Amino acid sequence: MNPSQGRPETKPDLETKGTQETASALNALSAGVAHEIRNPLAAIQSLVELLAQKTEDKKQKELAEAIVTEVARLNRFLEEFLRYGKTPALKCETISVKALVEKVLTFAMPPKQDSKIIVHTHIPEGLPAVEIDPEAYHQVLLNAVLNAVQAMRGGGTLDIRASVLDGHFIMQIKDSGPGISPENREKMFLPFFTTKRGGSGLGLAIAHQIIRQHGGSIYFENNIGEKGVTLFIDVPQQHAE
């Protein structure tokens, strides 16, 4: 998007009635899930780590490490599940967009010597102040960049662009991956939908939820005339209480 062209057209809200019903059900179940799953998982992890310390058998140690890894994966899924089932109040403040992007890239990008991805950032000097919840928005942006990186397993180009137009703060995360197939286009923000092996299918659903809280919108567009996709994150420049 060229800044001189103004903001992109508003996209239809992707939250369906089914999504709302799922969110309500998850909210009702979250407290019970936290108690019934978290505690046994913590016990399993502790016991397996203890067994690994007591055995000298290499194969048994490898199996124990595999169990601990899976327990950690389940814990991450549970955290996302609980986050989606709740809607914590936003704590908005004025942030440095450049610092936020740099922090996200530090977490999301592989070491330079191992990376085949070229990163370009376009954050204008003197970008007007933006008022958002820094922790919540960091989660959205981190998820978006990780998705872009994972889509370019063989390498590619990641382009991150920030702008303020017509009173809205707009982030664009553009990758050179395979893009989104037509049959998946309307499913990307639905809970539990994922195209990644081992994915929870909640990352983008949570991102969608957070951006809606900010009074904004989040959507994808396949890149015209080239590979990949661009994710748009559009929120009001100043948060309305």
Q: Is the pLDDT of residue 168 over 50?
A: yes
One domain, residues 103 and 192: yes
Residue with the bigger pLDDT between 205 and 2: it is 205
One domain, residues 30 and 145: no
pLDDT digits (tens, 9 = 90+) for 1-21: 544 445 655 554 544 445 556
**Model pLDDT, residue 161:** 96
One domain, residues 111 and 135: yes
Among 60, 85, 110, the domain-final residue is 85
Give 101's pLDDT tier (boundaries 50, 70, 90): very high
Residue with the bigger pLDDT between 65 and 175: it is 175
Q: What is the CATH number of the domain that holds 139?
A: 3.30.565.10
Dist. CA 224–CA 228, nearest whole Å = 9
**Model pLDDT, residue 236:** 93
One domain, residues 221 and 164: yes
One domain, residues 123 and 190: yes
With respect to residue 7, please indicate whether it lies within any of the assigned structural domains: no
Mean pLDDT across the chain: 80
pTM of the model as a whole: 0.68
**Model pLDDT, residue 27:** 61
- Residue 40 sits in which domain range? 18-85
Among 85, 111, 141, the domain-final residue is 85
Q: Is the pLDDT of residue 74 over 80?
A: no
With respect to residue 4, please indicate whether it lies within any of the assigned structural domains: no
One domain, residues 57 and 31: yes
One domain, residues 66 and 25: yes
Among 45, 61, 85, the domain-final residue is 85
Residue with the bigger pLDDT between 80 and 22: it is 80
**Model pLDDT, residue 16:** 46
Count of domains observed in the chain: 2
One domain, residues 99 and 132: yes
pLDDT > 90 fraction of the chain, expressed in percent and rounded: 26
With respect to residue 3, please indicate whether it lies within any of the assigned structural domains: no
Q: What is the CATH number of the domain that holds 47?
A: 1.10.287.130
- The mean pLDDT of 55-80, rounded to a whole number, is 80
Burial degree of 209 (CB within 10 A; 0-12, 13-18, 19+): buried
Residue type, 237: Q
One domain, residues 144 and 196: yes
In degrees rounded to 5, what are phi and psi of residue 66?
A: -65, -40
In degrees rounded to 5, what are phi and psi of residue 239?
A: -75, 130
pLDDT > 70 fraction of the chain, expressed in percent and rounded: 75
**Model pLDDT, residue 17:** 47
